[in-house]
Amino acid sequence: MFQHDVGLPAGSGKTDAISTAQRFLPGRYEKPFIRNHVVAEVVETLTAGSGCGVVLVGEHGAGKSFIAQRALEQLGPDYAVVQIRGSSISSKLPYGALSVLLNDLDASHLEHPLMVLRGLTQVLHNKAQGRSVILFVDNAHDLDELSSMMVAQLSAGAHVTLLAACVDLPHVGGDIMGLWKDDLLKRMDLAPFDFNEVAASLGHEYGGRFSHTAARALWSASGGNALFLHSLAREQIKLGTIVRQDGVWVLGKGPIALTGEIRDVVKARLNRLSPGQRDVFELLALAGAVPLQTLMNIADPQDMDALQERAMIHVSHEHPPMVSVANRLSAGIVASVVPPGRSAELRRRLTAVLQDSEQADAGSSAGVAWALDCGEQISPELALAAARMANNSSDPAAALRFLHEIQGRGAVSRVAVESVQAHLSANNSDSARRVLFTLDSAAGEDIPLADWTSLQLLRAELDKRSDSTAADAHARLQEIGRRLSAEPDEDPAVLDTAWQRLRLAEAELAVFEGRYQDVLSMTDNPGGSLLDTEAGILTASLRCEAMAVTGNVIAALGLGKQVIAAAGSVALADRAVREIRGRFLLLMLLSAKFREAAAFLAGSSGTADPQERLGGMFEIGQGVLDLHAGLLDDALPRLQAGTEQLLAQDPDSVAGLAMAAFAYAAALQGDEEKASLQLAELAQLQPHASWLVGRMTRYFELCALAELGQRATAIRGLVAEADRDTGSSALTPGLLFLSAAARLGDRQVALKLGSLAVRVTGTFAALCVRLSEGVKESDSEQLLAVSKDSDSAGNAIFARDAARKSVNSANDAGNRIALRIGQRTQQSLDDRFGSPKNGLHSLTTSTLTARECEVAVRAAAGTSNRKIAEQMHVSVRTVEGHLYQVYSKLHVASRSELKDVISTPAESARLG
């Protein structure tokens, strides 16, 4: 039971009761740990000399023992560590956890607690040899009553400083609990890992970045439990569910598999429950969710309370309150290992207390799946409802299973609707088409108008997904309109719903094709009361995009925030939430609202929603933000991981955008080979993306070309794209293209930028106006202010180029002070991007010749004129002539001043 050296596994064979705390040595744990701040807080508390110590509280697998071990290793040789461990076996024996320490005491001492305390105190004093004693009690909730009392007495008497770890405080002995109540023992709760901690932990453990989808799949399945997380990750890598592609980890086409090691971990945890607690846990795992009152009619409330105290089950705030297993992974595994006979018995116990009206609702689709597993026959209506719920929850496999149970007993058209929807959710367009072809071949069923409309809308969606059939989508929608107009005797409610769905489909198609003026005329400012239905929220989201693209950015973002808020308060299908969130994120990137986009990304990614409610834009959103901020060391792996993931799974057709952004980031960092490879692969990719995704893809592609040395070609392309978009009233994308051309190009393009920017609202447009005015007036100070404000807004690329123009203006005006400030600002921004070329960019393209730049960099590095001449194979007189021109153009008078201007290493200046 006793473990002596900190960090050694139980049963290591050691027999000494006291060990010297060893300082943490790099390499003891080769991989970094993400909660070092918690370790530091534990160490600080243990060494403060006040109070009795620390108690770490967290569920099994939360990392309590690991954090404790890391903290103990940092204490140093002035501390002696004693470690004891509670267990279910030792908890049944008097002084069970302390048995190793008590071996040195006379048996007669064990007859009275005071004698035991004195004996323990003496043992610890003798073996500590003057050092402070840290008593580490692992699994403190499993201490027997006498051991708990001794631990508390040793701590209260300052004989030891206590470091305890437990699942929950209520099950810790009353004596230790009293130390906490008296504020002598500091409580530190270890919550499950949040998403960012999961992503960091996975990267540290396995090397290489995990894609957003892969990390969230593991986070969602594990519930953030550290033990579950890494057990699950190892198993998925072993099975090939998560695979490594070019150094990054991505989720393949299959779902997370709950097998192997993780199943053993969950089963071991289940075995620690009492019989009554196990009944409750297994029933909830199988049912999915059960009304609280119903569960209380089956189970002992004390068993329910115990599970809730240990955070193993969750009670919702709905009406009526519903009870479910807190961790989805545990629920899934437990449900899969319950023997059939026991499953059937639990099912009978539940159904015996359910009212008839509750039979169909208990557990929703999970309850229906359980009924099928138990051999029950379900009605077609219940199977269809369960399939619809499964489709809305991004579970097409379950939907198809439920539909299979109908077997011709229900309406063929309604079954076809859900079948097609399931296949579309699984990105299997061919199977969806086969279902529709089979329906067409069936003889003579009179399909109700609502079902016919649904089927035609699904056909239009399929048409839209392929270039060869895209034009058919228009005809399909027109056919629906003609049919609805010819049905005056139809139920008004059915007819009205069909018209709403048609209008929404027409707006979606117009947005997909970039016909934004049509969208504005179709939608007519849906707000207020219309934001309480899925159709209304989706329509408002489409209008939001149209407003932003046509230049009304401020109003669009205001409406977008209303849409996001409404989407959080109305029950929506996963696909609707994904579309709304992805659109809003794209619009913030389009309008350069980078700070707001970062907050939105973090907030959305931090929710417990499955990845299916986030979508493809979340794979690359943070990478695009890092790119613009100049954080290329972060941007490149994020964008690479996103690209690889989207090449495996791309339901929103944004893989091309990911590749273009990845190419731009690589070009900015100077990796021409990687950038060129991405652009070549982009040229081979043929995704059927939406109009706006296509425009953003083209923008990054042209910006990458400019960084790769094709500056003139890129500028011409940017101007042409800007003219094209402006001509079709897509003012904001036009402004994005033209702003890049103006930052890279000449004065005429900058003046043209100002004329367009005044037609667009928002902070980015205002920056473009100021940039244009600064170039027009050759005002280096205004351009420098634009650079500063752009950088503050998270747009270091814009800031870098504005600083370059400030340097040019100051140089032309001979303003030495402004020139020096501008050069330093530019140098700082260039250094952030990390490419050797960035530091020399403006000097070689606008101020100095390539030869002069090479001489200047070498001179700034301290190389003598004679040595420069030897290195460049020219005469000393030639070097002196170049330096004269450099001093004149840069308005400096000495090498020391030149060094202030140029900090780029000489090796990077080999241009001639």
Whole-number percent of the chain with pLDDT over 70: 90
CA distance 502 to 457: 8
Out of 191-205, 745-759, 841-855, least confident range: 841-855
Out of 132-146, 247-261, 842-856, least confident range: 842-856
pTM of the model: 0.83
Residues near 404 by beta carbon (within 8 Å), at least 6 away in sequence = none
Per the prediction, the chain carries an average pLDDT of 86
pLDDT at 829 over 60: yes
pLDDT at 504 over 90: yes
Nearest alpha-carbon partner for 142 in 267, 8, 1, 268: 1
653 three-class SS: coil
Instruction: Give the tens place of pLDDT for each residue, 5-56.
Output: 333 333 333 334 556 554 444 444 455 668 889 999 999 999 988 889 999 9
38-47: which pairs have CB atoms within 8 A and are 24 or more residues apart? Answer: 38/67, 38/188, 38/190, 39/67, 39/70, 39/71, 39/74, 41/188, 42/67, 42/68, 42/71, 42/163, 42/188, 43/71, 43/74, 43/75, 45/186, 46/71, 46/75, 46/134, 46/161, 46/163, 47/75
**pLDDT value at position 911?**
34
Q: Which amino acid is at 689?
A: A
**pLDDT value at position 104?**
67
Give the pLDDT band of residue 79 (cuts 50, 70, 90): very high
Give the pLDDT band of residue 904 (cuts 50, 70, 90): very low
Phi, psi torsion values for 244, nearest 5 degrees: -100, 125
**pLDDT value at position 591?**
95
Out of 407-411, 555-559, 834-838, least confident range: 834-838
**pLDDT value at position 161?**
92
DSSP string, 821-834: HHHHHHHHHHHHH-
Contact, 738 vs 722, CB < 8 A?
Answer: yes
pLDDT at 1 over 50: no
Give the pLDDT band of residue 199 (cuts 50, 70, 90): very high
For residues 137-143, average pLDDT? 89
For residues 78-88, average pLDDT? 88
Instruction: Give the tens place of pLDDT for each residue, 398-443.
Output: 999 999 988 777 778 899 999 999 999 988 989 999 999 888 876 5
**pLDDT value at position 32?**
60
**pLDDT value at position 18?**
59
CB atoms under 10 Å from CB of 557, counted, come to: 20
By DSSP bridging, strand 248-251 and strand 161-166 are: unpaired
pLDDT at 513 over 90: yes
Give the pLDDT band of residue 912 (cuts 50, 70, 90): very low
**pLDDT value at position 222?**
86
**pLDDT value at position 908?**
36
**pLDDT value at position 822?**
87
The crossing angle, in degrees rounded to 10, of helices 574-590 and 691-707 is 40
For residues 274-278, average pLDDT? 92
Out of 10-19, 91-100, 351-360, least confident range: 10-19
* Sheet with 322-325, edge to edge strand ranges: 290-291, 322-325, 313-315
Instruction: Give the tens place of pLDDT for each residue, 441-472.
Output: 765 557 889 999 999 999 999 998 887 888 89
**pLDDT value at position 8?**
31
Contact, 795 vs 596, CB < 8 A?
Answer: no
Give the pLDDT band of residue 171 (cuts 50, 70, 90): confident
